[in-house]
Chain A
Amino acid sequence: MANAFSLNIAVCIKQVPDSSGLRINPGTGNLDRSNAQNVINPYDLFALEAASDLKKSCGGTITAVCMGPPQAESALREALARGADKAVHVCGPAFSGSDTWATSLALASTVLLLDQVNLVLCGKQAVDGDTAQVGPGIAAHLNWPHIAFALRIRASENVLTGECSDDSGNFSASFPLPGVVTLSRGHYPLRRTSLQDWSKALQAQIRQLGPEEIGLEPDQLGIKGSPTRVRSIKTILFTKKTEFFRGSAAQAAEKIESFFRKKSSTPFAASPVRLPDPEKNCRIFVTGEIRKGRITPVTYELAAKALELSDEVSCGSALVFVTPASEIPVEVNPPPPADKVFVLQAPSAHPLDIVSLTAALADFFTHARPDIILGGATAWGRSLMPRLSVLLRTGLTADCTALTIDGKTGDLLQTRPAFGGNILATITCNRKPQMATVRPGVFKEAFAGHWPDQVCLPVPDSIIDSGITIMETSVPETPGNSLAGAAAVAAGGMGLGSDGFKLLEEFSILSGAAVGASRSAVDAGWAGLHCQVGQTGRTVQPALYMAFGISGAVQHLAGMQSSGFIISINRDPESAIFGVSDLAIIGDCKEILRALITRLRNRKNGSPEWKDS
């Protein structure tokens, strides 16, 4: 209790269907929610634990805030059992149909109403929508700084520091309070709630707030207050034709190897649809991501898509970067397919200081007034784009898998998978710019013949004064190959065992496939958190996904079922994973893995076909 200041923390929670109760109906291939109960979004539990941890060292109060239907009361009761001192339920028919923009506005307005809240904590994303937009959105509405995807947080002397980790390494970010942090599944163990905790939680009063109390007008709420609309919904039936294979381990290994060669090669980059033309009026923009001087692959993918869309509506497309330098180094980066490249030069802005970057971009876009802005759904983009969308007072659709232009209205049709991945929703935005993020690997990357003109615009220091300090601490601890953007992933589950994971690592080194793991395998300590594939881990869509000893819980399937080609190896012919697999091998995954490794070792020089062919 050495600190003089006190923390008043609001933890925003959401009630979601429990993914452990979800099954894929084998008859229809649909998601069967009939047995799924409502629970607190798993990431929000980490936010609650982080809040309790801070309270232990700094004192203060924790208020759980939930916007949701009447039955969300049970989520608030559980939050009270899990350490919240007070609970606030934002509830009313007027809120229903809110998109992430309207939700973050309502939550931000609620936070302002609470007594001296100086820190808002959220889970990094809700597992039913997976957008990760509400946390940064709240921060933008409050005009507070934010840190997204923190693993651990601490506070001292009015400064909050979050430890983060992304594909480029580990770093810490600090800001003076007030501010917003979203929590990943990090270092906080979940408590066991006791009878005592529940008794207290059930006695507590829950404060109910309606639209009037939080000071919002009807047109700021629910469907009216939401810039995005679901235009149509399409159910995808699992029409996979699974080939079943039984045989010796050696035969299975041979089979896998032949598919590996066929499927895991990275496709050649596509050619852009047209030549860049610096004379065009740029109305479609891509927020470019640049790391240590190199443009990320997803930026090329989106540039290609933006150019394609711009051709349909006869305008130009541009890339915009915020960097300390005045131009993008052309010698190390192939030319992106864009009509123009804007470089917002901000010498004092750290490339991981999302708040400053967003401020610079918002200022630029307010003047440029584009129709469409696309960004990559990387950790960086998922933190930046939602904040930007609020600053530009428009909606954002996360993780789109298809983007097209409506021929009649000229609207951007944004298609994204919904919960469990077997529903595709097409979404439009009734404000401009229309904004969307896209996961890496969804679109094909393309390169232009020569570098487009670079236009450098200096950013005044006053715009980028976020107060955030970044300290880069280390390179990623990921051994071997990173899951992000991997062409092939070899993942293991409970059926593989801890010694099996050693084989998997060896296979990964020999083959170039990245190591993945199911949640239970990560829980068992056989693989690191960064390897976890699934709803609470990473979503991957490599050209080839190999599942060794993974039974196929829905939460795992959600993270990998859109992979190009899926091979699964399991002893149990009834495994759920076989339902989404192209090739189902029934057998002992360890033996097959050993046979595969032997095959690979026998190929001298590590076999170039197996690596980046």
Chain B
Amino acid sequence: MNARNVLSALKAQPPDLRTAQNYVSPGCHERYLCDESRMAGFPPARMWFPTDTAGVSAALAWISECNERAAVSGARTGIAGGAVPYGAENLLSTERIVYKPMLIERNGEWFLKTGAGMTLADIQAFMRNRDSFPDHAPAGLYYPVDPTETSASVGGMIASDASGARTLFYGSTRIWVNRLTVVLPDGSILDLERGKFFAQAGKFYLKSPNGVVDDCAFSGVRIPGTKHVAGYRLSTDMDLIDLFIGGEGTLGVVTDAELRLTAAPECLYVCLFAGVDHPAAEFAACLKQRMPLLALEYMDRASMHLLRNFRDSASAASGVPDLTDWDLSVYYVEIPLDKGNARERVDILKSALTDSGLDPADSWAGFSPSYLDEMKRFRHALPERVNQLIADTGKSLPGLTKIGTDMAVPDHALPAMMETYSQGISREGLQSVTFGHLGNGHLHVNILPRSMEEVEKGKALYREFARYAVSLGGSVAAEHGIGRLKRDLMSVQYNPDEISEMLKIKRFFDPQFRLNPGVLFA
């Protein structure tokens, strides 16, 4: 035992319902029963809306005292059912833990302290308005992780280690989290700073507020070298803050966070271009080798067809820019630039295209944020269109869902993975569109079933793809997480020993399985 491997929990608020009751909202609010997964939850008996760490602590202490369970809810933007209350008497929402973010400077690094209920949009708006910054704050300071859904909450993004298109350059949420306040299931409070507390040789200690010290021993698990959000990233010398990032709220509830900031590139060059039957994976590798890219995204030809039909039927009102002359798969890149290297990098991109037999004139490119906005609108139109299509088909076939995969594989394995995707789809005679984060070896295959039979076929194919991805050293859940919907993929990713190591951790922090029942583990 030493200072580095002991977590000291602060005293919980007394389990006093009178204090905690201030946070209980009478009645059950429909909108908290579902998230973007469209999974339907069970109404809990009570819904809690604490406004700060003390409130969460009081609530959890009371829930623990009553021997009940709590489902944790953020902004409900997840698509794996992680926020859908299920088997819990209580719903604990972090959405009211909001306060004005604070900018902190430490040794030349800049951080943003913020409440778990703040949304990404809130943070972005705060970072845009420099009026409240100290004068010496560097220009262009920003929080670089960019999940598509800006209504996501800080708590949710941390619990699910969220990523976005720019994860290619910046990584996922994890490395940008510097400090967390976490409330444990019994209501006691941890203050975790990155670089302060580590497991040592697979062991660490937790000192409870009354002085009792428990120890936890565990072995590491195999973690794929790709984007990956499935269970705990156990390694025997891990930084203990990493247990709670991507832990999907199963070990504790994040209430405050200190996020690391960085300077945005001076300017950004964005480009959409068409690729003619070119192996996307090899092309991606070639591009990444030549210059830094903030994002490298992909849409296959089927995606473009879907968008085109949509545009034809909905006219200009769809907001989808007219790219109907492109009967091709489409790539999207974001290149960070400064004044000095703009010409050089644009030329590198141009020659990369020429070398791969693509025509640089068959592209859409530009610098200003208006280009970025328009291209974003174009890219976001696809998932929206997919959802709409499924909703339309679902009118006559209730229970019909899209089957959206979330596997990532290492770069070298991407050609094989993509080949397997297209073979599997055509073998089963399914309809699909494939798009996503090419640069991270992370494409979403969206199977669009037209019948319930195809739903079953699609689900089986998903598992087949997942097994293959793991065999290539990849991840079954690169960014959407496991939640309640994808629990069966845990056994595809990990062997039983690895899962039991994770269960050790779960039992150590939450022996009664009070928090988020049904998430990660049955």
Contacts and interface: CB of A to CB of B under 8 A. Distances in A.
A196 B368 contact: no
15 contacts: A18-B368, A21-B369, A37-B368, A38-B368, A39-B370, A78-B366, A194-B360, A194-B364, A195-B350, A195-B360, A198-B367, A199-B350, A202-B342, A202-B343, A524-B317
B373 A20 contact: yes
A524 B316 contact: yes
Given A25-B129, A34-B130, A193-B365, 5 more contacts: A18-B368, A81-B366, A195-B363, A197-B361, A198-B269
Interface in B330-370: 342-343, 346-347, 349-350, 353, 359-370
A203 interface: yes
Contact of B315 (A198, A199, A524): A524
Interface string A86-98: 0000000000000
B271 interface: yes
Given A18-B368, A37-B369, A195 B271 contact: yes
A195 B353 contact: yes
A25 B125 CA distance: 11
B344 to A, nearest CB: 9
A553 to B, nearest CB: 12
Contacts of A202: 342-343, 346-347
Contact of A194 (B269, B315, B342, B362): B362
Contacts of B367: 74, 78, 198
A195 B130 contact: no
Contacts of A196: 350, 359-361, 363
B369 A194 contact: no
Given A34-B129, A195-B271, A195-B360, A20 B370 contact: yes
Contact of A35 (B128, B131, B349, B361): B128
Contacts of A81: 366
Nearest to B272: A192
B286 to A, nearest CB: 16
B273 interface: yes
B369 A195 contact: no
A73 to B, nearest CB: 9
A408 B363 CA distance: 62
Given A21-B369, A195-B353, A202-B343, A523 B360 contact: no
Range class of the B interface residue count: 20 to 34
Nearest to A36: B369
Contacts of A524: 315-317
Nearest to A526: B317
A213 interface: no
A194 B350 CA distance: 10
A29 to B, nearest CB: 14
A192 B347 contact: no
A444 B207 CA distance: 79
What are the nearest 8 A-B pairs in CB distance? A524-B317, A196-B361, A202-B343, A195-B363, A195-B360, A196-B360, A192-B364, A194-B363
B157 to A, nearest CB: 22
A195 B316 CA distance: 25
B255 to A, nearest CB: 26
A410 interface: no
A573 to B, nearest CB: 16
A609 interface: no
A18 B361 contact: no
A199 B128 contact: no
Nearest to A521: B317
A525 B319 CA distance: 12
B316 A525 contact: yes
Interface of B: 128-131, 269, 271, 273, 315-317, 321, 342-343, 346-347, 349-350, 353, 359-370, 373
A273 B305 CA distance: 69
B472 to A, nearest CB: 32
B273 A195 contact: yes
B317 A198 contact: no
Interface string A517-529: 0000001111000
Contacts of B373: 20
A35 B359 CA distance: 34
Contacts of A39: 368, 370
B349 A195 contact: yes
Contacts of B363: 194-196
A194 B362 CA distance: 7
B262 to A, nearest CB: 18
Contacts of A526: 317
Contacts of B315: 524-525
Interface string A30-58: 00101101110000000000000000000
Contacts of A326: none
Contact of A193 (B350, B366, B369): B366
A193 B321 CA distance: 13
A605 B48 CA distance: 58
A21 B371 CA distance: 12
A32 B129 CA distance: 8
Contacts of B365: 193-195, 197-198
Contacts of A74: 367
Contacts of A38: 368
Interface string A185-209: 0000000111111110011000000
Contacts of B316: 523-525
Contacts of A193: 364-366
Contacts of B321: 192
Nearest to B317: A524
A498 interface: yes
Contacts of B353: 195
A202 B350 CA distance: 12
B317 to A, nearest CB: 4
Query: Which of B273, B342, B343, B365 counts the most chain A CB atoms within 10 A?
Result: B365
Nearest to B359: A196
Contacts of A32: 128-129
B290 to A, nearest CB: 14
Contact of B346 (A78, A195, A498, A525): A195
Query: Which of B131, B359, B368 counts the most chain A CB atoms within 10 A?
Result: B368
A18 B359 CA distance: 31
A228 B202 CA distance: 76
A538 to B, nearest CB: 21
A199 B130 contact: no
A202 B267 CA distance: 14
Interface string A147-183: 0000000000000000000000000000000000000
Contacts of A35: 128
Contacts of A25: 129
Nearest to B372: A37
Contacts of A198: 269, 346, 365-367
Contact of A498 (B271, B317, B360, B364): B317
Contacts of B364: 192-194
Query: Which of B343, B362, B367 counts the most chain A CB atoms within 10 A?
Result: B367
Nearest to A498: B317
A203 B342 CA distance: 10
A489 B470 CA distance: 62
A601 B130 CA distance: 53
Given A194-B364, A195-B271, A195-B363, A34 B128 contact: yes
Nearest to B323: A192
Contact of A203 (B129, B343, B349): B343
A525 B130 contact: no
Nearest to B129: A34
A98 to B, nearest CB: 25
Contact of B370 (A18, A34, A203): A18
A198 B363 CA distance: 10
A78 B369 CA distance: 13
A286 B512 CA distance: 86
Interface string A489-529: 00000000010000000000000000000000001111000
B395 to A, nearest CB: 21
A523 B322 CA distance: 13
Interface in A9-39: 18, 20-21, 25, 32, 34-35, 37-39
